[in-house]
Amino acid sequence: MKIGAYLKNYQKVVFQTFLNALNTSHLSHAYLLIGEQGTPLLESAIFLAKSLVCDHPNPLACEECLTCRRIDDRTFADLIIIDGAKQTIKKDDINLIETQFETSSVESKGKMIYIINHVENMTLEAINALLKFLEEPANNIYAFLTAENESRVLPTIVSRSQTLHFKSIDKQEMKKEAINLGVEVKDAELLCNFYNNAELIKQKIDDKDYQNAKKSIDNTLDILSNNKNIAIPKLHSLVFLNVKSKEAARLYLDMLTIVFQDLVNLSIGGNIFLTSYEDNLKTLSKHLKQINSSLLLIMTSRGQIDMNINIGLLLDHIFQNILGDD
């Protein structure tokens, strides 16, 4: 499913709000796209940007014309994309926008557009530079900002933007759609917890960090289910081997959180989501004694990954708690 169809089918309020503004020439100079982790915010921002300059809108971006393809290829001169997903956005990044857009439009469309992904991940100097730019918008300059957590976005940025809230998508529905695209059930079950778009789920299957995290989850459940007595040394060697990077460690703990949420559900007679791991989960639910406290520890440990903590020691502490060795 292309991003335009995703917006039209699953984010109808966002789609219709922007379409109405475009049709009535009441566009805001800045849009703030808000959605939980896994929502295709950057992809949606790019689609909405295309809609402003598309050669053949139908009714928004056609995604097939020359202009849409040039935006995909990053050769459209009047579009700047700054991505704060993996590194902090600095003042120089904002200055680049100001410098490039202080002259007239290069393209014949006459509109200049910038996208800032994860606007909450900016330095104070970058925020101040952006605020100045937002306060004095030129008639032909449009901004699309994205954030997963609105509370982390400076109120003055929110007040200068029109906010578009993306709703959560039912995981079962997204899992089914991903499977229909050829995604294996296990991958669909794991990834639909992090991505609200089946196409994105399919793209992420070959991601190295995801593959390493999934391998570690498989090893964790197999060892805990089959040989509790030697679990910690085996877990350390097999899990840490694959999750040495921060991103892989984050994914592993996110997946482990889902596992223990299912274990909690089993303990109270509820249903599980990870049906691919059903046998492992049923075995673990019978002999693990600290399921609730382990879940809490896993969730709190996830936030420590970015604090330069020793990942191996962090994982050992979690394993000890799971096995009741603390």
Amino acid 324: pLDDT: 76
**305-315 pLDDT per residue, tens:** 767 788 888 88
The gap from C-alpha 199 to its chain's centroid, in whole angstroms, comes to: 13
Dig out the tokens for 260 from the structure.
């223990």
Is residue 56 very low, low, confident or very high in pLDDT (cuts 50, 70, 90)? very high
Phi first, then psi: give them for residue 197, nearest 5 degrees: -150, 125
Sheet strands side by side (includes 112-117): 79-83, 112-117, 141-147, 30-34, 162-165
Phi first, then psi: give them for residue 113, nearest 5 degrees: -130, 140
Among 49-58, 85-94, 226-235, 302-311, name the one with the lowest average pLDDT: 226-235
Report field, pTM of the whole predicted structure over 0.75: no
**3-48 pLDDT per residue, tens:** 998 899 889 999 999 999 999 999 999 999 999 888 899 999 999 9
With a cut of 70, say whether residue 209 has pLDDT above it. Answer: yes
Nearest to 61 by CA among 8, 137, 122: 8
Q: On the CB side of 305, how many CA atoms lie within 13 Å of its CA?
A: 18
- Single-letter amino acid, residue 194: F
Contact (CB, 8 A) for 166 and 35: yes
Distance from C-alpha of 213 to C-alpha of 67, rounded to nearest angstrom? 38
Phi first, then psi: give them for residue 134, nearest 5 degrees: -70, -30
Mean pLDDT taken over the chain: 89
Percent above pLDDT 90 for the chain: 53
**220-251 pLDDT per residue, tens:** 898 888 765 665 777 777 787 788 888 888 89
